[in-house]
Amino acid sequence: MSHGIKHVAIIMDGNGRWANQRLRPRVWGHVRGSTVVSDIVQAADDLGVEALTLYAFSTENWSRPSQEVGALFRLLHKFLLKERKRLLANKVSFRVIGNTTRLPQDTKDLIAKLETETKDFAGLKLTFCFSYGGRMELVHAMNSFITANPGKEITEEDVQDHLMRPETGDVDLLIRTGGEQRVSNFLLWQIAYAELCFTPTKWPDFTARELKRIVESVSKRERRFGGLPAAADKNLPRPEVQSIHVQ
Ligand code: IPE
Ligand code: IPE
Ligand code: MG
């Protein structure tokens, strides 16, 4: 994989505005948006990405009208039914993270079945964040650590190990569609060193081509992780010839 981007996370935003621009109800935008998801899963797989994490419904989205929330639930259910065969055929390892207790029982059953069926697959790690919040995940991680290790001081590794899907690791590239430039409580721990990309394209218009373009362009950025640019290292005076004194 030449682009070096292993984990892509996407905030799939802009469905409502996409529909309103077309004088349709917001739910229409969600319906169209849900059809884009399978293309993007396929595209990420084709690009050789190892993990794709999609923000489908936030803990804050519960404040939306119940009719919209219900529609999003039904779309998740439909997606699971429609995509199951393809996910199995492509050896995609599928997980839902978030607080799914309020989902209808048949959807919960469908999720559990698909997670069990795909858990040992070595293909793309696909994660749906549903009724998910980054703060909620961190609180969950800390509580689960404390319960297992009463009285012990928590480390960064402990937090990482107790996340809802630890094996997907840090995010390399965070994309938000829909033009807003904020994180909206998504993967707060995992995006510490992510490259950020905000595109004005609303989610129903997002394509495999745009994803590929973003991955290619972001892979040219230099990620320094707090270090120095690779080229600068060579030009720096060596410590013994450096004459600057820090007071
Ligand atoms: C993203 O689209 C999907 C969800 C948050 C569930 P929105 O519904 O937020 O669409 P806009 O941002 O209002 O256009
Ligand atoms: C973020 O979008 C959540 C999802 C895309 C699922 P929102 O539309 O809910 O975020 P805000 O309200 O603009 O921050
Ligand atoms: Mg939005």
Q: Is 204 close to ligand 1, i.e. is its CB under 6 Å away?
A: no
What distances in angstroms separate CA 106 from CA 29, 65, 82, 129, 132, one per listed residue? 24, 22, 15, 18, 19
Task: Compute the chain's Rg from CA coordinates.
Answer: 20
Over pLDDT 90: what percentage of the chain? Answer: 91
Tens-digit pLDDT profile for residues 78-95: 999 999 999 999 999 999
Over pLDDT 70: what percentage of the chain? Answer: 94
Question: What are the DSSP calls for 22-89, one per residue?
Answer: TT--HHHHHHHHHHHHHHHHHHHHHTT-SEEEEEEEEGGGGGS-HHHHHHHHHHHHHHHHHHHHHHHH
Instruction: Judge whether residue 244 has pLDDT over 90.
Output: no
Instruction: Identify the residue whose C-alpha is closest to ligand 1 atom 6.
Output: 57
Q: How far is the CA of 237 from the centre of ligand 2 (A)?
A: 48
Q: Is 120 a catalytic residue?
A: no
Helix ranges (H only) for the chain are 15-21, 26-46, 66-89, 105-118, 134-148, 156-161, 208-218, 230-235
Ligand showing the shortest atom-to-Cα distance for residue 180 = 2
Question: Which one is predicted more confidently, 2 or 90?
Answer: 90
Of the candidates 206, 210, 202, 207, the one whose C-alpha atom is nearest the C-alpha of residue 20 is: 202
Mean pLDDT of the chain: 95
pLDDT (average), residues 146-158: 98
Q: Is 58 close to ligand 2, i.e. is its CB under 6 Å away?
A: yes
Mutate which of 58, 68, 185 for ligand 2? The one with the most ligand atoms within 8 Å of its CB, which is 58
Q: Which atom of ligand 1 is nearest to the CA of 18?
A: 14
Exactly one of 39, 61, 99, 158 is catalytic; name it.
61
Dihedral angle at the C-alpha atoms of 210, 213, 217, 218, nearest 10 degrees?
Answer: 50
pLDDT (average), residues 180-198: 98
Q: Which atom of ligand 1 is nearest to the CA of 19?
A: 14
Instruction: Judge whether residue 242 has pLDDT over 70.
Output: no
Q: Is 61 a catalytic residue?
A: yes
Instruction: Judge whether residue 190 has pLDDT over 70.
Output: yes
Instruction: Judge whether residue 246 has pLDDT over 90.
Output: no
pLDDT band at 240 (very low <50, low <70, confident <90, very high): low
Instruction: Judge whether residue 235 has pLDDT over 70.
Output: no
Q: How far is the CA of 25 from the centre of ligand 1 (A)?
A: 12
pLDDT band at 231 (very low <50, low <70, confident <90, very high): confident
Instruction: Judge whether residue 68 has pLDDT over 90.
Output: yes
H/E element, 94: strand 93-97
Q: How far is the CA of 182 from the centre of ligand 2 (A)?
A: 9
Q: Is 187 close to ligand 2, i.e. is its CB under 6 Å away?
A: no
pLDDT (average), residues 45-64: 98
Q: Is 184 close to ligand 2, i.e. is its CB under 6 Å away?
A: yes
pLDDT at 2: 80
Instruction: Identify the residue whose C-alpha is closest to ligand 1 atom 12.
Output: 14
What distances in angstroms separate CA 105 from CA 30, 70, 113, 141, 208, one per listed residue? 22, 14, 12, 25, 33
Q: Which fold has domain 7-235?
A: Undecaprenyl pyrophosphate synthetase (3.40.1180)
Instruction: Judge whether residue 37 has pLDDT over 70.
Output: yes
